[in-house]
Structure 1
């Protein structure tokens, strides 16, 4: 770009652009009331050109001016729209002697519509030979300098609208996210799953162990929490006879922010009657392979941190949680060790242990800090300790573990899945054990629903944001969320 945008110059540009707007309005032309009806997006227009038939096809395209090259009586201009960039060739004697000087006063960032014919330049670039144009929105502030992006990393997230304009990689990543979500819907609907919406405002924060956001409903004079999970309402629908159900929705957890955690995040939860955790294994593997094939058009991705190639086609490893702990600690009898020995071993591995933790929490700290980050290739970690999830069925052979898996890829959990607990008496006992003294946090209405009968089922959750981190090679969850949570700050104005 030819315009500089240091704070002082940016301020001057703002004043200059406002003056141009005032002059346009004084001349009877208000760009914000002008209209354009595009016939093609940029990529569609480029694809419409017929080789050897220059100027045979007329198109109308619209977008934001991002570069321009002035050659006196003509200009090459590039505009950006949702699909990308297309070049325009604007010539004085074509668009008119009276109109051309006004066109030359346009600024980078202005939105224009252009009607013209397609041709190929000497360098082979498909271009629109402009016959007419219309200014449809005046940019009163300049874009970031030289179209290279935003220098301030936080500004990328705080002013995402600018990041999308100047950063093609960011724009493509977020478009890919949208395509991934669309593909998930198609995949599940093709298998007779019904998409539903369940309440965000809930009386009890159920379905997970997390701190909720709290709010108050004035009309009902009732305190609510924002949901931390989709699970319990979806399982009510299994009780109601909806055998295959899913929801893609927002969850809210009033907890820390990191490269893998945002207080507001998107989950897919899916439940299938007459299935189990092994049925969910097949479902999630088929789903991820489908996304790779139909959206990414590739069979593997590169792990951002290690550079290792992650392969999605072929066998996926399956290993028990217990075996991974034994391998990591070197203790064949890890689960029978006394508490002090577990603490000593965990600390020798570099884990920080809270003395108040229970044994299963010490064990899970080792798993989370020392094992999970090493699981780069797709791995089903099965049969977790019963204390980790009160909503899954106990294993019939070893009731100290659950019929569950955690799918781990790229060193992070992507999808937990269960054989869902449908025995109301066992479910009540597990809820009470987890709640301890806080019995008011038990969802008694869900237990009532279970007493009416819920079919055996497999259930699974997928963190959409984490899945997109994995499949797009993003560094952080902020890079795959359009508007992540930030502390209040300046707008850059």
Structure 2
């Protein structure tokens, strides 16, 4: 503690001196419960239409609270702006109304302190709605100054590391996270109304599965076994389909031990849902309806602007085969049969990077990701993924090289992934074995063998359509935010450099 005191800035030292001065006055700097009658928004909504004369004729008492963001004192009177979650409001304090002790509290007040006020509503000479304070209660003394000379906090790294400051200083940031809450509520309410059952499944798993990703590894001491943070929700929800829960969903955290970018965070939120007796075409219709309805509920329209680009989320969405899109972009036709060597030669000719374990199917996907994906701005369902990259999806009956699977792309990013779920346990075992061979060739993200899941499939799983939606990316889209970090309250960051 002595070291911390030595490192105090001048402002922090002054604030601590004021703290002691307040205590010397008999004022508790960290007060208790304060009952409010109005938030800032309710205050402006209720009284904003009333004239100065009307407010003077019928004085109305209010109790409000918030963080002091501005202070202007002149002698024995002064103004301040307090801020709560819904906005700001002005207060006016006079020594002859408050009394000497309470006015001294105001004189000792710093930007960032939290106060409760009781008083009557009036308008100033300039017409601003204001509270004439009769009771002024310190609820929390701020010992650290808020960022100065900012119309908000501008240092991006600092904003992410100290989100509490970001929320205080930047009202638009708070709006983004309130919108996020609204989006998640809308997803839940729509799915609940459609008869889906929300469940919770394990985050710690003995075998990671349901996606191609590198997991986080941990150790369970009591069970004496290695465990993994889940990389997807899929396989447990499919077990519930086997168990007879025919429409099921979960909104939860998943974890992938991968890089950090504007599109990726190691910990993120997924919506996964599964519907028995459906296929990927049913899920396609559900997906476009779900996204359009969420947009309507959250932002009031399906016609949005994302980073300056108009986007229309009104169904129906464009549908396109992956191979057709590659042919349009590069002239390469992957519908015709070809060897791995020929596919590799085409990749070299077109500057497409490939890894040693990759088959023709993997190379098709690389062509798509490197040559097509970024161009898909308007909502587009891309279907016809190669079977090699779709180990949990049914093969297409007409062309078994491809899976009955789609991904939804908007603004050049994947927003959803869905397929007709593979329910043949023998085929699933073969797919897992093929994935094990990929692991041997260096694909660390290949799926592992999961005997327990195979046993569940052997009991019998009805034909099922499944869907995964990245909630964070959906929030980015509807909130018009360029980076996933802007829609995560506490994104993962490298260690901050040590001061000094």
TM-score by length of 2: 0.91
CA 1:295–1:187: 2 relative to 1, 3 Å = same
1:452 correspondence with 2:459: yes
Map Cα deviations across residues 146-171 of structure 1 (whole Å, 9 max, x no partner): 34233432111111111111112222
1:102 pairs with one of 99, 102, 105: 105
Whether contact under 8 Å (2:91, 2:132) holds in the other structure is: yes
The answer (yes or no) to whether the contact 1:279–1:458 under 8 Å persists in 2 is yes
Q: Deviations over 1:90-117 (max 9, x none)?
A: 2333323442232122000000011123
Distance 2:470 2:38 in 1: 35
Is contact 2:323-2:333 (8 Å) kept? no
Spell out, residue by residue over 1:300-335, the C-alpha distance to the aligned partner (whole angstroms, 9 max, x if none).
Answer: 22222xx22001124311111111111122134565
- After TM superposition, give the deviation of residue 78 of structure 1 in Å: 1.3
Structure 2 SS opposite 1:351: coil
Pairwise CA distance, 1:338: 4.5
In structure 1, the residue matched to 2:12 is 14
Question: Partner residue of 1:4?
Answer: none
Instruction: Report what 1:291 is aligned to.
Output: 294
* 1:3 alignment partner in structure 2: none
Aligned partners of 2:323 and 2:364 also within 8 Å: no
Per mean C-alpha deviation after superposition, the further-off stretch among 369-378 and 56-65 is: 56-65
Q: Which residue of 2 aligns with 1:194?
A: 197
Per-residue CA deviation, residues 68-109 of structure 1 (Å, 9 max, x unaligned), is 222433322111211122222223333234422321220000
Q: Would the alpha carbon gap of residues 147 and 43 (structure 1) be closer, same or farther in structure 2, given more than 3 Å must change?
A: farther
2:444 aligns with none
Structure 1 residues 125 and 187, CA gap change in structure 2 (3 angstroms): farther
CA contact (8 A) 1:407 1:415 kept: yes
Stretch deviating more after TM superposition (418-427 or 70-79)? 70-79
| 2:253 paired residue number | 250
Question: In the alignment, what sits opposite 2:305?
Answer: 302
CA-CA distance at 1:349 after TM superposition: 3.7
Question: Which residue of the partner structure matches residue 481 of structure 2?
Answer: 474
Match 1:43 to one of 41, 60, 65: 41
Report if aligned partners of 1:34, 1:135 keep a CA contact under 8 Å in 2: no
* Structure-1-length-normalised TM-score: 0.92
Q: Does structure 2 retain, via aligned residues, the 8 Å contact 1:360–1:387?
A: yes
TM alignment of 1:63-462, pairs within 5 A = 63-304=66-307, 307-332=308-333, 335-436=336-437, 441-462=448-469
Alignment root-mean-square deviation, CA: 2.3
Provide closer, same or farther for how the CA distance between residues 102 and 326 of structure 1 changes in structure 2, counting only shifts above 3 A. same
For residues 449-478 of structure 1, give each alpha carbon's deviation from its aligned partner in whole angstroms, at most 9, with x where no partner exists: 111121221110011111111111111111
State the alpha-carbon separation in 1 of the partners of residues 188 and 335 from structure 2: 42
Gap change, CA 1:445 and 1:124, over 3 Å in 2: farther
- Assess if the C-alpha contact under 8 Å between 2:31 and 2:138 holds in 1: no
Tell me by how many angstroms 1:441 deviates: 2.6
* Contact 2:334/2:364 (<8 A) preserved: no
Partner SS, residue 31 of structure 1: coil
How far has the Cα of 1:190 moved from its partner?
1.2
Gaps of 5+ in 2: 1-5, 441-446
Q: Is the 8 A contact 1:325 1:334 kept in 2?
A: no
Say if 2:476 and 2:483, in contact at 8 Å, map to a contact too: yes
Preserved CA contact (<8 Å) 1:326 1:334: no
Instruction: Say if 1:286 and 1:360 are closer, same or farther in 2 by CA, change over 3 A.
Output: same
Name which of structure 1's ranges 175-184 and 93-102 shifts more when overlaid on structure 2: 93-102
The residue number in structure 2 matching 1:26 is: 24
CA distance in 1 between partners of 2:282 and 2:157 (Å):
42
**1:123 Cα shift?**
4.5
- The 3 A distance-change label for structure 1 pair 221 and 316 is same
SS in 1 for 2:361: helix
Count of aligned residue pairs for this structure pair: 484
Tell me how far apart the structure 1 counterparts of residues 79 and 33 of structure 2 sit (CA, whole Å): 23
CA contact (8 A) 1:68 1:75 kept: yes
Provide the rounded CA distance (Å) in 2 between the counterparts of 1:24 and 1:491. Answer: 34
CA separation of 1:294 and 1:127: change in aligned 2, threshold 3 A: farther
In the alignment, the residues of structure 1 paired with residue 335 and residue 242 of structure 2 have an alpha-carbon distance, to the nearest angstrom, of 40
Q: Alpha carbons of 1:320 and 1:57: their partners in 2 closer, same or farther (altered >3 Å)?
A: farther
Q: Deviations over 1:427-461 (max 9, x none)?
A: 22222222227699311111111111212211100
Contact 1:159/1:491, CA 8 A, preserved across alignment: no
Q: Deviations over 1:43-78 (max 9, x none)?
A: 122222252442643221111111122243332211
Cα distance in 1 for partners of 2:396, 2:68 equals: 62
Is residue 68–residue 113 contact of structure 2 (8 Å, CA) maintained in 1? yes
Is the contact made by 1:121 and 1:127 (CA closer than 8 Å) also made in structure 2? yes
